[in-house]
Amino acid sequence: MPLARTLAQRLRDHWAATPDRPALHLLFPKQPDLTLTYAALGQGAAGFARAFAAAGLAPGEVVVLILQHGPQLAFAFWGAILGGQVPTIMPFLTEKLAPEKYRQELAALVAITRPAAIVTYPEFAPEVAAALGPQSLVRRVLIADDITPDTTSDPGALPGLRRATADLALLQHSSGTTGLQKGVALSHQAVFNQLAAYTAALRLAPDDVIASWLPLYHDMGLIAGFVMPVAAGVPLVLLSPFDWVRAPYRLMQAVSHYRGTLTWLPNFAFNFCAQKTRDRDLQGVDLSSWRAVINCSEPMRAESHAAFAARFAPFGLRAEALATCYAMAENVFAVTQGGLAGPVTVDVVDRRALIAEGEARPAADAAGPEVVRMLSAGRPLPNVQVKVLADADARGARRPLPERRVGELALQSDCLLTGYFHRPDLTEQAFLDGWYLTGDLGYLADGEVYVSGRRKDLIIVGGKNVHPQDLEALASEVPGVHPGRVVAFGVFNAEAGTEDVVVVAEVDELDVTDPATEEARAALANAIRRHINQGSDVAVRQVRLVGPKWVLKTSSGKTARAANREKYLAETAAPA
């Protein structure tokens, strides 16, 4: 195959060389699977490329895609690539998202990104129009259902094939309250550098099959679960994330049926699958083809790996298939990869030293109660360098920290973002002497990277930095608390002049509205306080027990701490 230099050229090459090879297997509930060959994907994408040209869209202009799981989303994304436009995928409105909040985020995205067009489905067009308003800069709103494949034109004439490697390929938008205003601009060269390094680290081969349910509006789903397999010529089995949430066993059935070999999951999904998958839905399922189930995108827990391994070992899952990765949109995707050359390293460290002193000190008693089992995220990819930086000193300087000292992770690579789209201010803030500041906290040990939390989520109590992830993990260990459905944050106490620590925990068995459970709830709240204090020396000011589905998550499944803090303050505010 000729050496492709852009994503459009790579798709064209697969289309020409292996037109009948499956590119995607799209799965739907209660419907037959839909297989798209490279010829079908190319023709569908070409139809969108022609439609973009007919709508007056020029190469280099941004196209926002708001589409549900299905072939039109794949066609629209690769159609923008073939047309030379810059695609960016945004989640569509669901019952879990507040409509007004969604409209605000869409308006913010349009104001910053200034897209030329939005592609959506018929039922959603009125919502888009309402969010944009009459003064919108968006020139066209295109309905995906109106666009048909192009089976007659010469694909070699499409303008995307004339794009340069330095040109922008796509935008990724992170989750969060302000994330949609930070479009991560990635060039074709950055994407290709990432794919070259990461496919080598994965030892990706033509007989691999990637199985995924991840949404395509975040980097893990977009790159690992969409762009990489299509560009590498590796079949992709893709479920809807909403189908997966309702029936997680469908992922296992898909892996078994298509002999899937690689899957990426956020940490919560390891617990979710282990807890929600019933034996009756796994009859005949064989997971022995899975060579890597990769934990990524949120703090990783050894306990989650253990639960997943124990649950699915009877169905052929090998414990050594569990792997880890540290990734971010700003680096296209992967920064590190662990667990492929050997078992994932588990670093057993002293909990108090980690929380109070910022030192990952090996624990004297590996089985004691005062230990944390930290999962390694693996070693940096060959084209990535990682270092750990201390906070700024009195002169504003930030020195590198030695091994096992916790600080902010910084990286250099040849696949970093070109910048935050139309945000030179944020781009400048994100770099220090050529190093990208990730905002993530972690440490290095024996050449491996360990991620412990986020700088922006820090709770500062009496001048001491407290990482909410540590407190949430401790609270989740208390019987009666729903693991993973806990949020910790700080609330400023004007009288004390510092932040109070608040923990909100969902409970499984107690009705939090029933006065008869008041005594049991008080006992559980005290148990949470004691366990956190014993494990961290942090005194929790307030423990609030809530019912199921109280804790807010971002669209990528991460705990939305700022939003949960606002919700807590709104619910506990004194009446006027």
pLDDT at 179: 47
Q: Could you give the 3-state DSSP secondary structure of residue 380?
A: strand
pLDDT at 181: 62
Structural domains in the chain? 345-456 (2.30.38.10), 459-572 (3.30.300.30)
The β-bridge relationship of strands 22-26 and 322-324 is unpaired
Write out residues in the chain with pLDDT < 50, as ranges.
1, 175-179, 576
- Sorted by sequence, the CB contacts under 8 Å of residue 517 that are 6+ apart come out as 510, 511
pLDDT at 176: 42
pLDDT at 110: 87
Tokens of 101: 């909040």
One DSSP character per residue, 205-260 reads -TT--EEE---TTSHIIIIIIIIHHHHHT--EEE--HHHHHH-THHHHHHHHHHT-
Spatial contact of 505 and 550, defined as CB atoms under 8 Å apart: no
- Residue 53: C-alpha distances to residues 60, 78, 144, 406 (Å): 12, 14, 15, 51
CA distance 76 to 64: 10
For 412-455, how does the pLDDT look when each residue is reduced to its tens digit (9 = 90+)? 999 999 999 999 999 999 999 999 999 999 999 999 999 988 77
Sign of CA dihedral 97, 98, 101, 105: positive
pLDDT at 177: 36
Q: Write the single-letter amino acid at 532.
A: I
- Residue 202: C-alpha distances to residues 29, 256, 356, 468 (Å): 30, 20, 36, 32
CA distance 376 to 239: 29
pLDDT at 192: 97
pLDDT at 342: 93
pLDDT at 416: 97
pLDDT at 141: 93
Spatial contact of 241 and 268, defined as CB atoms under 8 Å apart: no
Spatial contact of 422 and 416, defined as CB atoms under 8 Å apart: no
One DSSP character per residue, 388-451 reads EEPPP-TTS--PBP-TTB-EEEEEEESS--SEETT-HHHHHHTEETTEEEEEEEEEEETTEEEE
